Amino acid sequence: MKFLDLAKVYIRSGAGGNGCISFRREKYQEYGGPDGGDGGKGGSVWVETVDGLNTLIDFRYQQHFFAKNGQSGMGRQRTGADGDDIILRVPVGTEVLDEDQETVIADMTEVGQRVLLAKGGNGGFGNLHFKSATNQAPRRANPGQECIDRTIWLRLKLIADAGLLGLPNAGKSTFLAASSNARPKIADYPFTTLHPNLGVVGIDNAEFVVADIPGLIEGASEGRGLGDLFLGHVERCSVLLHLIDGTSDTIAEDYNTIIGELEAYGGELATKPRITALNKIDALDEEERAEAQAELEAAVGGPALMMSGVSREGLDTVLRAVRAKVDEDRIRYKNTDAEEAPWQP
């Protein structure tokens, strides 16, 4: 199934039905008078998160969602039928954005969450509604409320505990394949990863989800390469694992390139907890490992781990470091939720 994480959608709620002007005139039936019914309500447009979806591919083949209009009122005091609602079913982690792609309408983070996007119009009153002691034969009725047209964007941000960062061919896909049952595409040329991949990683009887995104290059924030739009998939992560190619001749420059793109992306991504690891050490001898680690630690200004996704050397150490950050973030959120919960006797 093709991965799609951004979709433009046109929605329209249903218009309300018009009220009816009608009078009861039947032979041999007394007490005639106004009997026009009200119009029905128009259908609304909702968005709802459901389990089992991990892409917005359904919205590639259908972009227009129009709810039904309410039926007009009728004589004999009959109210028009209400229009049917329309529900946009999306995966967990979807953001609903306004047409400007900046204003967030809703952030769908839980299964079963439901948000109203466009409310259906109310039906108009029939002339029966206006009957009174001083106006026993009203000849007026209200039209139904008009529909609401909106253009929205759906953007999927994957829900993962840890995110992988690095230049193309830094070994992110190899790391994901070595540490989980995921089978991303692996090749010896840049940009083999064209869409995010998820893998469930297990270490010391604990599991967490890791997201692998396409590699970044210098100028990705300006649209070079595959751009930096995929960084949205690691915004929700507890920790970022930054992999550096140990066989590169410009280790410090490679590290600073990714950090610069994170800062250019903005938001909290640049300040999110990070773990830096030197990858592909199986291709280095002891002296080369020491030199590469020293250069990377000087650029990071702190410790850098050593690992190899191919030989699995140092893999468990990196996974334990990532798990510690994930657990720390989970505890922090748990304590925050406990503080915000209302007191109950």
Q: Please, are residues 166 and 280 in contact by the beta-carbon 8 Å criterion?
A: no
Closest by alpha carbon to 65, among 93, 86, 44? 86
**Res. 331 pLDDT band, cuts 50 70 90:** low
Q: Please, are residues 276 and 317 in contact by the beta-carbon 8 Å criterion?
A: no
Q: Can you give the pLDDT at residue 344? A: 46
Q: Please, are residues 19 and 36 in contact by the beta-carbon 8 Å criterion?
A: yes
**What distances in angstroms separate CA 78 from CA 22, 69, 73, 74, 214, one per listed residue?**
10, 17, 6, 5, 59
Which is more confidently placed, 331 or 54?
54
Neighbours of 266 (CB within 10 A): 11
% of the chain with per-residue pLDDT over 90 = 50
**Res. 345 pLDDT band, cuts 50 70 90:** very low
Q: Can you give the pLDDT at residue 338? A: 47
**Res. 1 pLDDT band, cuts 50 70 90:** very low
Query: 10: part of which helix (H) or strand (E)?
Result: strand 6-12
Angle made by CA atoms 181, 185, 188, in degrees to the nearest 5: 125
Helices and strands (DSSP H and E) totals, the chain: 5, 16
Residue 196 has pLDDT above 90, yes or no: no
Q: Which CATH class is domain 162-340?
A: alpha beta
Long-range contacts of 290-296 (CB under 8 A, 24+ apart): 292/246, 292/251, 295/251, 295/252, 296/244, 296/251, 296/252, 296/255
Residue 30 has pLDDT above 50, yes or no: yes
89: tokens are 């079913």
Specify the CATH number of the domain 6-156.
2.70.210.12
**Res. 207 pLDDT band, cuts 50 70 90:** confident
Mean pLDDT (the chain, rounded): 87
Mean pLDDT calculated for residue range 188-203? 78
Residue 279 DSSP SS3: strand
Q: Please, are residues 119 and 145 in contact by the beta-carbon 8 Å criterion?
A: no
Closest by alpha carbon to 86, among 37, 3, 39, 147? 147
Angle made by CA atoms 28, 34, 38, in degrees to the nearest 5: 130
Mean pLDDT calculated for residue range 12-33? 88
Please provide residue 257's backbone torsions phi and psi, each rounded to the nearest 5 degrees. Answer: -65, -45
Q: Please, are residues 173 and 310 in contact by the beta-carbon 8 Å criterion?
A: no
Binding residues: 166-173, 191-195, 212-215, 279-282, 308-310
* pLDDT per position as a tens digit, 36-59: 999 999 999 999 999 888 789 889
Q: What b-and-e string marks burial along 135-171, b requiring 16 or more CB atoms within 10 Å of the CB?
A: eeebeebbbbbebbeeebbbbbbbbbbbbbbbbbbbb
As beta bridge partners, residue 203 has 206
Query: 240: part of which helix (H) or strand (E)?
Result: strand 239-245
% of the chain with per-residue pLDDT over 70 = 93
Residue reference for tokens 């070595």: 178
Query: What whole-number distance in Å separates Cα of residue 177 and Cα of residue 2?
Result: 20
Q: Which residues have CB under 8 Å from 268's CB, separation 6+?
A: 235
* pLDDT per position as a tens digit, 238-278: 899 999 998 888 999 999 999 998 988 877 888 889 999 99
In the chain, where the domains are located? 6-156, 162-340
Candidate from 158-162, 189-193, 338-342 with smallest mean pLDDT: 338-342
Q: Can you give the pLDDT at residue 332? A: 59
Mean pLDDT calculated for residue range 326-331? 78
Residue 336 has pLDDT above 70, yes or no: no
**Res. 343 pLDDT band, cuts 50 70 90:** very low
Binding residues for Mg(2+): 173, 193
Mean pLDDT calculated for residue range 140-166? 91
Binding residues for GTP: 166-173, 191-195, 212-215, 279-282, 308-310
Residue 136 has pLDDT above 70, yes or no: yes
* pLDDT per position as a tens digit, 64-110: 999 999 999 999 899 999 999 999 999 988 999 999 988 999 999 89
Residue 192 has pLDDT above 80, yes or no: no
Query: What whole-number distance in Å separates Cα of residue 94 and Cα of residue 155?
Result: 6
Q: 227: buried, middle or exposed (CB in 10 Å: 19+, 13-18, 0-12)? A: middle
Q: Can you give the pLDDT at residue 234? A: 86
Residue 119 has pLDDT above 90, yes or no: yes
